[in-house]
Amino acid sequence: MTQQNRLTSGGRIDRSTPLTFTYNGKQYKGFKGDTLASAMLANGIDVVARSFKYSRPRGIVACGAEEPNAVLQLGATEATQVPNVRATQQELFNGLVSASTNGWPSVDTDVMGMIGKVGGNMMPPGFYYKTFMFPESLWDTYESMIRKAAGIGRAPRERDPDTYDSINQHCDVMIVGAGPAGLAAALTAARGGARVIIADEQNEFGGSLLNGTEKLDGKPASEWVRAVVEELSRYDDVLLLPRSTVNGYHDHNFLTIHERCTDHLADIAPVNQVRQRMHRVRAKWVVLATGAHERPLVYANNDVPGCMVAGAVSTYINRYGVVPGNELVVMTTNDYGYQAALDWADAGRKVVAIVDTREAAVGDRTEAARQRGLNIISGSAVIEVQGTKRVTGVSVAGLSASGTKVIGSVTKLKADTVATSGGWSPVIHLSCHTGSRPVWSDSVVGFLPGATVQKQLTAGGINGQYETAIALQEGFDAGQKALAEVGLAAANVVLPETEAMKVAAPMSLFHIPHLKPTSQAPKQFVDYQTDVTAAGIEIACREGFEAIEHVKRYTAMGFGTDQGKLGNINGMAVAAKALNKSIPETGTTVFRPNYTPIAFGAIIGRNCGALFEPERYTAMHKWHVQQGALFEDVGQWKRPWYFPQAGETMQQTLNRECLAVRNSVGILDASTLGKIDIQGKDAREFLGRVYSNAWAKLAVGKCRYGLMCGEDGMVFDDGVTACLGENHFVMTTTTGGAAHVYEWLEIYHQTEWPELEVYFNTVTDHWSTATITGPNSRKLLAELTDADVTNDDFRYMDWKQITVAGVPARVFRISFTGELSFEINVQANYGMHVWEKLIEAGAKYGLTPYGTETMHILRAEKGFIIAGQDTDGSVHPYDLGMGWCVSNQKPFSYIGKRGMNRSDCTRENRKQLVGLKTKDPKQVIPEGSAAVLDPKGPKPLEIQGHISSSYWSETLGHSIAMGFIKGGLDKMGETVYYPMADGTVIEAEICSPIFFDPKGERQNV
Amino acid sequence: MLHIYCPHCAEYREEDEFHCAGQAHISRPLDPEACSDEEWGEYLFFRKNPRGLHHELWVHAAGCRKFFNMTRDTQSYEIKEVYKIGEQPSVVAE
Ligand SMILES: [Zn+2]
């Protein structure tokens, strides 16, 4: 393949390093230094996409982040697929594989034409809103068609083999953009001794200075760029980030930079290198030197491949040595458009005409064109383009002075490229990210950054200053200002001399009129990516959408992956004209992060796979794994769920584990329960205020169960607290509630009762807890301690400091199973040792490890609640039948007391926790099932409550359930029904939730 | 992401280390039993949601674990001041 549009010399490409790439299955050649777009243009590839609604062929129009059409799918393998890559920003590498996305079955065939036409007719402005009003059944048809046709790209179906990274950065000055303004700011700030980060989305610094033929100090501008970059790279405190897009500007000068470290090297990052890195920067001051995007003009058939923005044409010629056509027509409203014609002529190709919408413009660039003898047609416009897959010619006509009407006759010219310039739109995106509203400037003919609360400076193109001399000066000023703001002395910088250019005033013109009214003229595209036309915007305005934000949503303008970088201002101008308003009266434009699409990999960084969420393990975790335990996530903890043996079903395991506890002894790893150490002379008083029951008389050496309620009186946590000393307690919480309870204690202490002398410390991870439970648990404990653990000396609800298996232990004689139980707490480092000693000594009793599921069954047999399962924030202690755990004798109005006495909490017929015994003992009611009184009654049936806990009890030989029933505590013995989704009904009798050992004798033995 | 000055640690830290705990200066009634249901409901459930200055309670959860107050503009996210529990703001929401 020849590169027919490649110049033999010039540009910043390396002709000695040819690269091979693939586009839609065909191989082409480019050079090192090319973007994918410049290489495609060099090879004469005109069509890069089919449009979203109308399936029209589309070509490359721009050369940077603003490109709306050349949005490609990259990747040589399934795993390395990357959607939404702008060819204008992707550097070429050898072996790059690319494909168009919105061309099904191919961008070059017209198969889509017919469907596209149907689609176009079916998708007027407001299509989505109108369509949703059609029968729902049609939507699937529309959607599948749109998805197939639209350029959405696709995610890889396989795991991304690359590594992504993130890093936190701090600096005095963050400079966004390394064009003339950014480089001048960086040089100034760096010389002044500031910590500087300067980032630019392109592969090399220089910005607009690399795209033209301008001279600085009489030499090519690139030489000044090279000298500045060399100096900057010598400072230790200056970080230079090429290939790095500042994608978000967040509150308090926090910025996110998306660095593409190796995207330019290969399909997969080289060994030991990351593909992309996210920098999270906190900057004292920010200098936005983001430049400007050139606006194309809106004219009939302006989407035919070969229609480009003027500055992009210059850039392809000067930077990449590519002339993207043979015969050029320029249409411009300003002096800058002339540059494309000058560069084109310098490249030795034919300039057919420069069509200037202004009457008589006299600036240095217009004069240069005149002197070169280029054909300048003033006071006129290209009103229409001919061609389908490539421009073949243009229609030129005179314009009225205001630019609103075509006057005079139409001349047809032959051309294959149309370069337009409607002026420039400052790149204000980042300044908008933090909520600043941009303001319109009539002199700039564009929006400028608005007032901001950020420590933000702006310089150059973003301020509507497009002359290099001014951009350099503004960058220098911003650098000095930043130095002063961070307390550093002014720097000594001499700016290079520029060639002063006289610039004539631009004309404020966006939408070129046609002979026919807009609605009947050939399509005049405003937003290429979403296929929004000037006629579409007029329709939206006619249908009553006046605010630009509504027009945008109704037409989808600006909703593509390019966020309407090229089209938004033109769209506002069309709307303003239709509404007979000025652009600022129509509204303003707002941009949101991210500036350009970003890979999920860069966002997640290393926090994927096993590192996605922290996992907490107990000291005995390894043992559980070795025993083949299955695990359950409880908060971030991995808790053993059950310990299956070979050949067992889950239910068989649970049955075996339950029976072992009831008949001999079982062992549970209870280390994950939250533990809070509470000390201070007012600790006891504090406990009385945060628990619903009494704590005044709890003696040293004793434990007590407590319920914790919110101010609304509703239970949110529970647990046992032990009195370690007169002013010293240890509180246990649920595993999942530990952090919340801890903060709860702190907030009340710090904000309400700072006068109480009490201190809290979370000690959950300091302790390992092995709970042995069952009739043989005392015998087992006695084997590992010399202490007296007889019932006479170690009573139920006592705790003792003793030695177990040779290490100091706090042993709590409390029970969550109803059996004789000991909770052995040792320093976490001893956890495994004690556990293994217990297992060893317990063998003769058939000591059986069990997990959370058996724990749940055993406690449900006893009617013990689990906060969070049998409570849901709407039940108070009396609803739970736990009035015994509420003390109304306490002098202080503890948290929850006033709440549970609100009228709604004391009314009749509240849902109350009861036991439920199925008529068929083998039936286990699914948790969450709703109770009704008469399943055959008129619908809707009145719900009486629901099942909160339900299990098979092997010990009892029947199912057991706990659940809520309206007024349930007064309905013992009555029948309720649980209708199932399959039409069957489970019948159950309301009973006490204490199914096993109702007198509680077994825990006291 | 906010950059927050903890008045206890006396330095700026990232928002990751903090939790917002809702509106500041909501005092628990000294005698809850004397409150009507309506008064108790006001204390429990009703909170401001201003566009503009808002006094908020924050906690340096992954730091010193201390609570403090913050006056923040909910529109611009500017933090006007931070001050300790028991202190009064010098910049006051209207
Ligand atoms: Zn702190």
Question: Is A296-422 the same fold as A163-292+426-485?
Answer: yes
Estimate the crossing angle of helix A683-690 against helix A738-747, to 10 degrees.
110
Dist. CA A845–CA A837, nearest whole Å: 14
pLDDT surpasses 50 at A622: yes
Q: Tell me, what's the ipTM? A: 0.98
Dist. CA A839–CA A665, nearest whole Å: 11
Q: Is A282 on the interface with B (CB under 8 A)?
A: yes
pLDDT in tens, A462-488: 999 999 999 999 999 999 999 999 999
Residue B10 lies in a domain: yes
Residue B80 lies in a domain: yes
A1-159: CATH topology is Ubiquitin-like (UB roll) (3.10.20)
Strand partners, A6: A322
Q: Is A433 on the interface with B (CB under 8 A)?
A: no
The chain A residue lying nearest B45, using CA atoms, is A712
**CATH superfamily entry for domain A517-592:** BFD-like [2Fe-2S]-binding domain (1.10.10.1100)
Q: Is A873 on the interface with B (CB under 8 A)?
A: no
pLDDT in tens, A103-131: 544 555 544 444 444 445 555 666 555 54
B59 Cα to chain A: minimum distance (Å): 9
Q: What are phi and psi of A683, to 5 degrees?
A: -60, -45
Cβ-contact A944, A933 below 8 angstroms: yes
- Ramachandran class of A719: left when φ > 0, alpha when ψ lies in -120 to 50, beta otherwise: left
What residues in chain B have their Cβ under 8 A from chain A's Cβ atoms?
Answer: 1-3, 14, 19, 21, 27-28, 31-33, 35, 37, 40-41, 43-44, 57, 59, 61, 65-67, 73, 75-79, 85-86
The chain A residue lying nearest B14, using CA atoms, is A282
pLDDT in tens, A960-972: 999 999 999 999 9
Kind of pairing between the strands at A238-241 and B79-84: unpaired
The CATH number of A909-1005, from 3.40.640.10, 3.30.930.10, 2.40.30.110, 3.30.450.40, is 2.40.30.110
Residue B91 lies in a domain: no
Which residue has 């004069």 as its token pair? Answer: A367
Mean pLDDT of chain A, nearest integer: 94
| CATH code 3.30.1360.120 for A621-671+766-859 | yes
pLDDT in tens, A44-89: 999 999 887 888 999 999 999 999 999 999 999 999 999 999 999 9
pLDDT in tens, A590-613: 899 999 999 999 999 999 988 999
Side-chain half-sphere CA neighbours of B27 within 13 A? 7
DSSP assignment string, A375-423: -EEETEEEEEEEESSSEEEEEEEEE-TTSSSEEEEEEEEE-SEEEEE--
pLDDT surpasses 80 at A151: no
Quote the ligand 1 centre to A569 CA distance (angstroms). Answer: 46
Q: Is A284 on the interface with B (CB under 8 A)?
A: no
Quote the ligand 1 centre to B25 CA distance (angstroms). Answer: 19
Length of chain B: 94
CATH number at residue B80: 3.30.2270.10
Which residue has 């090519």 as its token pair? Answer: A220
Q: What sections of chain B are H helices per DSSP?
A: 37-45
Mean pLDDT computed over A424-433: 96
pLDDT in tens, A299-339: 999 999 999 999 999 999 999 999 999 999 999 999 999 99
**Considering only CB atoms, which chain B residues are within 8 Å of A281?**
none
**CATH superfamily entry for domain A296-422:** FAD/NAD(P)-binding domain (3.50.50.60)
pLDDT in tens, A529-561: 989 999 999 999 999 998 898 999 999 999 888
Domain ranges across chain A: 1-159, 163-292+426-485, 296-422, 517-592, 621-671+766-859, 674-762, 909-1005
Which pLDDT band, with edges at 50, 70 and 90, does A907 fall under?
A: very high
Query: Under 8 Å CB-to-CB from A934, ≥6 apart: which residues?
Result: A941, A977
pLDDT in tens, A871-893: 999 999 999 999 999 999 999 99
In the structure encoding, which two tokens stand for residue A524, read together? 């005049």
CATH no. of A674-762:
3.30.70.1400
Residue B4 CA: distances (Å) to CA of A253, A485, B60, B86? 12, 20, 9, 19
Dist. CA A868–CA A870, nearest whole Å: 6
Dist. CA A741–CA A760, nearest whole Å: 11
**Considering only CB atoms, which chain B residues are within 8 Å of A740?**
none
Residue B94 lies in a domain: no
Contact A754 B75 (CB under 8 A): no
Dist. CA A813–CA A702, nearest whole Å: 9
pLDDT surpasses 60 at A853: yes
Dist. CA A26–CA A97, nearest whole Å: 9
**Considering only CB atoms, which chain B residues are within 8 Å of A897?**
32-33
Share above pLDDT 70 across residues of chain A, in percent, rounded to a whole number = 95
Which letter does DSSP use for residue A523 in this model?
Answer: P
The chain A residue lying nearest B30, using CA atoms, is A893
Mean pLDDT computed over A842-857: 98
To test the contact with chain B by mutation, choose from A250, A893, A894, A900 the residue with the greatest count of B C-beta atoms within 10 A, namely: A893
Dist. CA A870–CA A993, nearest whole Å: 12
Q: In the prediction, which pLDDT does A140 show? A: 61
Dist. CA A140–CA A131, nearest whole Å: 11
pLDDT in tens, B51-87: 999 999 999 999 999 999 999 999 999 999 999 999 9
A593 Cα to chain B: minimum distance (Å): 13
Q: In A269-314, at which residue ranges do the beta strands (DSSP E only) sit?
A: 276-288, 292-294, 307-309
pLDDT in tens, A159-184: 999 999 999 999 999 999 999 999 99
Q: Find the helix or strand (DSSP H, E) in which A765 lies.
A: none
Cβ-contact A336, A365 below 8 angstroms: yes
The total domain count for chain B is: 1
Quote the ligand 1 centre to B7 CA distance (angstroms). Answer: 7
Mean pLDDT computed over A807-820: 98
Provide the residue range defining the domain that includes B25.
3-84
Predicted TM-score (pTM) of this structure: 0.91
Give the one of B32, B66, B79 whose C-beta lies nearest to A897's C-beta: B32
Mean pLDDT computed over A563-579: 94
Q: In the prediction, which pLDDT does A714 show? A: 98
pLDDT in tens, A191-223: 999 999 999 999 999 999 999 999 999 999 999
Instruction: Please report the number of interchain residue pairs, chain A to chain B, with beta-carbon separation below 8 angstroms.
Output: 63
Contact B59 A712 (CB under 8 A): no
Query: Under 8 Å CB-to-CB from A173, ≥6 apart: which residues?
Result: A185, A186, A189, A194, A195, A196, A197, A283, A284, A285, A286, A287, A479, A482, A483, A486
Mean pLDDT computed over A270-274: 96
The CATH number of A163-292+426-485, from 3.90.1150.10, 3.50.50.60, 3.40.50.2000, 3.40.50.300, is 3.50.50.60
Residue B44 lies in a domain: yes
Residue B46 lies in a domain: yes
